[in-house]
């Protein structure tokens, strides 16, 4: 309970390493947090995020897309799991699939995503590599509402980092990731306080 208010329960979807998940989890446990992580879902059995969730005692689910006839059935399963936990928000954190309209239809509340560029520049895969190839002097990260497009949807928050002459994909990604971990928590805390509204 933060300030006597119930904490917003969130569901996190992650396909991989899970450093954003870890950061959200750590920050959710701070006294002044307005949210808590109810569960973690992954579409990859070996995802680091699943391992972290297990170690940290967070309910976690591996939902294998191969077990379902089509994307809609797969996504309906995830929505069904999220609904069991009384969540108010779904957060994508390195979830490497595009959500179909059926997910957004079945889950009627908001979904947000974090992306390692200053959207609308460099959507899609390898955003940091795209930024380096384009020669931008600043990049960063974005948290946005998810709609049917890829990395589209109303932008909620951004953080900027410089791109250095000496950068390669690894050094730039690292600099951006550090800001991602701060930004995602800031945005979720604001959302949990009702300070951010989707326009869809």
Establish if 116 lies at the interface with ligand GRF (CB under 6 A): yes
Do the strands 8-13 and 89-92 form a parallel or antiparallel pair, or are they unpaired?
parallel
CA–CA dist 145, 90 (Å, integer): 10
Residues 174-193, mask of contacts with ligand GRF (x by CB under 6 A): ---x--x-------------
Backbone angles phi, psi at 11, to 5 degrees: -110, 135
Question: Smallest gap, in angstroms, from Cβ of residue 46 to ligand GRF?
Answer: 12
Question: Smallest gap, in angstroms, from Cβ of residue 37 to ligand GRF?
Answer: 13
One residue of 18, 140, 153, 157 binding ligand GRF per CB under 6 A: 18
The one segment of 4-12, 18-26, 71-79, 185-193 that binds ligand GRF by CB under 6 A: 18-26
The one segment of 33-41, 72-80, 110-118, 189-197 that binds ligand GRF by CB under 6 A: 110-118
Site for ligand GRF in 138-177 (CB under 6 A): 177
Read off the tokens for 83.
Answer: 């609904």
CA–CA dist 141, 183 (Å, integer): 8
Which residues, 6 or more positions from 43, have their beta carbon under 8 angstroms from its beta carbon? 13, 15, 62, 63, 64, 65, 74, 95, 96, 97
Q: Using CB under 6 A as the criterion, which residues of the chain lie in contact with ligand GRF when the complex forms? A: 14, 16-20, 93-94, 114-116, 177, 180
């Amino acid at each position: 309970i933060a300030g006597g208010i119930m904490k917003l329960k969130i569901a996190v979807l992650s396909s991989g390493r899970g450093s954003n998940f870890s950061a959200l989890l750590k920050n959710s446990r701070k006294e002044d947090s307005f949210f808590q992580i109810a569960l973690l879902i992954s579409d990859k059995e070996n995802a680091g995020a699943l391992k972290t969730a297990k170690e940290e005692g967070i309910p976690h689910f591996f939902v294998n897309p191969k077990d379902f006839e089509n994307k809609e059935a797969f996504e309906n399963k995830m929505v069904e799991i999220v609904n069991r936990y009384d969540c108010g928000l779904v957060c994508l954190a390195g979830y490497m699939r595009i959500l179909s309209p059926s997910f957004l239809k079945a889950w009627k509340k908001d979904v947000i995503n974090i992306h390692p560029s200053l959207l609308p520049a460099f959507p899609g895969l390898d955003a940091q590599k795209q930024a380096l190839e384009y020669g931008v002097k600043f990049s960063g990260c974005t948290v946005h509402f998810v709609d049917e497009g890829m990395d589209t949807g109303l932008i909620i928050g951004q953080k900027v980092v410089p791109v250095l002459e000496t950068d390669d994909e690894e050094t730039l990604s690292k600099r951006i990731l550090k800001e991602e971990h701060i930004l995602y928590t800031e945005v979720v805390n604001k959302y949990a306080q009702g300070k951010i509204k989707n326009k869809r």
